[in-house]
Structure 1
């Protein structure tokens, strides 16, 4: 079942349950999917990898917004953003633990022979490709920096 079909099914359930947060989150996913599909020069069908990237982008946007709201002491605005994150994350593959990410980073550093911060870009690229959708870039970056420094 494609992401769009899953979203439509979840929307029906959310409408029946009168779950406003879930419905708003699902509509955001549907909207982003439709925009991506109608962009000029886009392929006829989105690949699963493209769909995962799109959902990750939506999650990141909401987390960033929530962080800004919390910084400004606006918990009333941060809470709905975090609630939407929880709904949208259902459409992402299972996230790896920091320990699992660390293992992949160490293996990549060993296989590439990376020795310092000058190799960070190369290591980040390879690890990000291996863990596509299973870890966010910020976490990967933090671990790579720690291991290379």
Structure 2
């Protein structure tokens, strides 16, 4: 079983004993999402830590988008609750890359892909660069940030 899933379960028990309802609810929701992912598809499977991390990233993104939607609708209390859930989920995700670190990884990916292609890259090769960059980033930056950095690097 994935160590991250075990940690989520043990932290849920701690939150239950401490009567921390907000944390408990968030951890239950995340574990439900993990369980759903395990049984999705044609055959049930056990998720790796990397798979669990992808589920956590997806759930954190949902919370962020929901908070923005609640803010725009004038529901500050709901937005705060969504942000609190996102903060709990963020504790289990790797630290996000700084803009400088992300730019350095994108530069490495661009140089690797240009060496493979054998020349200067154009924006048409963005897919190749994105594939290489995402492998280097490994969940430490949102896809939108990576895409923006790659576009900026290929354009300039």
TM-score of the superposed pair, with normalisation by structure 1:
0.91
Instruction: Decide whether aligned partners of structure 1 residues 43 and 132 sit closer, same or farther in structure 2, where only a CA change above 3 A counts.
Output: farther
Of the three residues 86, 109, 126, the one matched with 2:132 is 126
**Unaligned 5+ residue runs, structure 1?**
none
Runs of 4+ in 1 over 4 A off after TM superposition: none
* d(CA) in 2 for partners of 1:139, 1:6: 28
Aligned-residue Cα RMSD (Å) equals: 1.6
Query: Offset at 1:43?
Result: 5.3
Is structure 2 residue 91 aligned with structure 1 residue 85? no
SS of 2:91 mapped into structure 1: helix
**Aligned 8 A contact 2:63 2:83 in 1:** yes
* d(CA) in 2 for partners of 1:15, 1:146: 47
Query: Offset at 1:45?
Result: 1.9
Who is 2:16 aligned against?
Answer: 15
Who is 1:35 aligned against?
Answer: 36
Instruction: Decide whether aligned partners of structure 1 residues 46 and 96 sit closer, same or farther in structure 2, where only a CA change above 3 A counts.
Output: same
* d(CA) in 2 for partners of 1:70, 1:146: 30
**Aligned 8 A contact 2:23 2:88 in 1:** yes
Query: Offset at 1:25?
Result: 0.9
Instruction: Decide whether aligned partners of structure 1 residues 116 and 71 sit closer, same or farther in structure 2, where only a CA change above 3 A counts.
Output: farther
Is structure 2 residue 123 aligned with structure 1 residue 117? yes
Query: Offset at 1:4?
Result: 2.1
Describe how 1:38-77 pairs up with structure 2 within 5 A. 38-42=39-43, 44-77=45-78
* d(CA) in 1 for partners of 2:49, 2:43: 14
**Aligned 8 A contact 2:113 2:132 in 1:** no
Larger of the two Rg values belongs to structure = 2
Q: How many corresponding residue pairs?
A: 149
Query: Offset at 1:60?
Result: 0.7
* d(CA) in 1 for partners of 2:36, 2:16: 23
